Amino acid sequence: MTDDKKIMFIDGKEVEFTNEPNLLEVIRKAGMNVPTFCYRPDLTPFGACRMCVVEVEGRGIQSSCTMPPENGLKIHLNTEKTRRIRKTVLELLLANHDKECLTCEKSGSCELQKYSEEYGVRRIRYPEKKLEDYLPVDDSSPSLVRDPNKCILCGACVRACDEFQGHAVLGFANRGSKTVVQPMAGKPLGQVDCVNCGQCAAVCPTGALTIKSDIENVWSVITNPNKKTVVQIAPAVRVALGEMFGLKAGTNTIGLIDAALRKLGFDLVFDTNFSADLTIMEEASEFLARLKSGENLPLFTSCCPAWVKYLEDQHPDMLKHLSSCKSPMSMLSPVLARLVPEKLGIKRDEMSIVAIMPCTAKKFECKRPELSTDGHPDTDYVLTTKELGRMIKSAGIDFNKLDAETPDNPFGEYTGAGTIFGASGGVAEAAVRTAYEFATGEVLENIDIKEMRGTSNRSKTIQLDLKGTKLTVRVVSTLREAEIAIREIKEGKADFQMLEVMACPGGCVNGGGQPHSCDNSAIKQERAEGLYKEDEELPLRKSHCNPSIHKLYAEYLESPNSHKAHEILHTVYTNRFEYSYKNI
């Protein structure tokens, strides 16, 4: 054994460790585990729930998520003391918990339910919460439902909101037995400046924070014989949905998704990757025009609805920097709303447009009044990846045994540039692939801009050369990093001409509507790699090479950034600052 080798002993097994931040990570690295509610690898350890206790020889009972590893420690995971403590914690939590498990949104995936079963909790020795002490359920948000009666005060949502978004919409209030987690000033979630990113729900171990479901609304239109149902699927969905059916994270299941959607009853199945290509045509043209004029630089990408709302809420003076392009979802929907009824010989109100998204903020986006035509929302309903998985299961479809199918054309043809939109850095990389060729008239040979990739580094600055024109691109994920970039701009220190922002850590692959394994922070990287793999395998990898996009312009949109294109594909934004603070 070398002098610098560090080892400890876990249940008698010698385990080597290196730079793990705590005992819990060493335990997991060794292929073992202890239960926890409050620990999430991407968040600061909190040590609140006391479920991850272990017995350390010479040290007694310790919280494994907060104790750093030390050479020579001897640790025992499942002693009489640790099991008794965990079971007591579970009983205390259940005594104060709404136990309507069968009707809970998280039933079957609730960690409190899971551990109560594993530890054989069959009776509760402590006085249970009285009915009159129950608090009202908050469903005021378009994206999320908050049930304080199912909260176990683990603090994961509070830390996610603060550490990812720097926003602190949620926080602890009161003291002792009256302690609750609630939005600021005790207001409903829909009345504060929540950006609807859903990361709070993603880390919540119980049903205290869940996605507001549109499943029944979508079933109602699918089964309505007087409705034609049209669906579009976002890039990140294809590399995450398979996890709900036992497949490895990053497995591209788009062919199976297309087949499943048709079995569910959708009449036409399209791919949002198509409109990601369309977005690049508009955004790259817009960027080059700004670069030439020198006005309103840096250009901010506008695909992430949580980021857009954050600017509207907190920095309305910076909205001039935001691209006027709609998101890919909100570009494709109005195109479908205009062209599909014409093709099928039906009226718009005889058709419903559904979008499958990795993002809870898309539920907010589809309700924005500016994203409607003649008073009718361009996108009728948004389902998250998790909601689609539930629909497939409830319909009795054996997902893994489906024969792969392809989307309908012409709005199902896409390039690799459209695919990589789902990962942090993907929008900027796709834009540069097209902007380079638009600006220089030359073919970009080396199109893999790997410096823009990666889900662990939340801020990257990349230097590029457009044949003599130097270009600096900043890529950030999380609004905390976006805020740093905004401060640099306001202080005159920014050296970049384009800023790509995705609110969720790692981008849409880690969106609030995706299946989550909060104990494995590598999953988002595996999903991103699945997108880049599809990009590499596709015959066309630049958005402006998509023949269906050229056809759409020739027959309908005229040209990128034309008056017709602006009418359908671009939008305006709202100064929400005054409204937000008036409601505090």
Out of 157, 303, 325, 359, pick the active-site residue. 303
Annotated active-site residue 283? The verdict is: yes
CB 572 within 8 A of CB 305: no
Residues contacting residue 400 through CB under 8 Å, at least 6 positions apart: 245, 246, 247, 256
Q: Which of 165, 196, 166, 201 is nearest to 181 (CA)?
A: 201
Write out the H or E segment, with its range, that includes residue 472. Answer: strand 469-477
CB 257 within 8 A of CB 534: no
Annotated active-site residue 508? The verdict is: yes
Q: How far apart are CA 171 and CA 166, in angstroms?
A: 12
Q: Which of 264, 275, 278 is nearest to 232 (CA)?
A: 275
Q: How far apart are CA 229 and CA 126, in angstroms?
A: 51
Spell out where 174-327 has E strands.
180-183, 209-211, 228-233, 268-271, 299-300
CB 232 within 8 A of CB 257: no
CB 417 within 8 A of CB 425: no
Out of 323, 327, 330, 543, pick the active-site residue. 323
Out of 25, 111, 365, 526, pick the active-site residue. 365
For 484-515, give the DSSP string: HHHHHHHTT----SEEEEESSTTSGGG-TTS-
Q: How far apart are CA 142 and CA 211, in angstroms?
A: 9
CB 560 within 8 A of CB 554: no
Write out the H or E segment, with its range, that includes residue 172. Answer: strand 170-173
Out of 70, 100, 118, 370, pick the active-site residue. 370
For 304-364, give the DSSP string: -HHHHHHHHHH-GGGGGGB--BPPHHHHHHHHHHHHHHHHHT--GGGEEEEEEES-SHHHH
Q: Residue holding tokens 């695919």?
A: 419
Alpha carbon 514 to its chain centroid, in Å, reads: 6
* DSSP code of residue 233: E
Out of 283, 481, 500, 534, pick the active-site residue. 283
Out of 105, 163, 243, 286, pick the active-site residue. 286
Annotated active-site residue 365? The verdict is: yes
Please list the residues that pair with 233 across neighbouring strands. 271, 356
Annotated active-site residue 303? The verdict is: yes
Out of 52, 366, 508, 518, pick the active-site residue. 508
Q: How far apart are CA 304 and CA 223, in angstroms?
A: 31
Return left, alpha or beta for 265; rule: phi > 0 is left, psi -120 to 50 is alpha, else beta: left
Tell me how far CA of residue 317 lies from CA of 11, 163, 310, 314, 483, in angstroms.
Answer: 58, 24, 12, 9, 14
Q: Which of 231, 209, 227 is nearest to 383 (CA)?
A: 231
Q: Which two tokens stand for residue 272?
A: 């949002």
Q: Reduce the DSSP state of residue 261 to 3 states and report it.
A: helix
Which residues are known catalytic residues?
283, 286, 303, 323, 362, 365, 370, 508
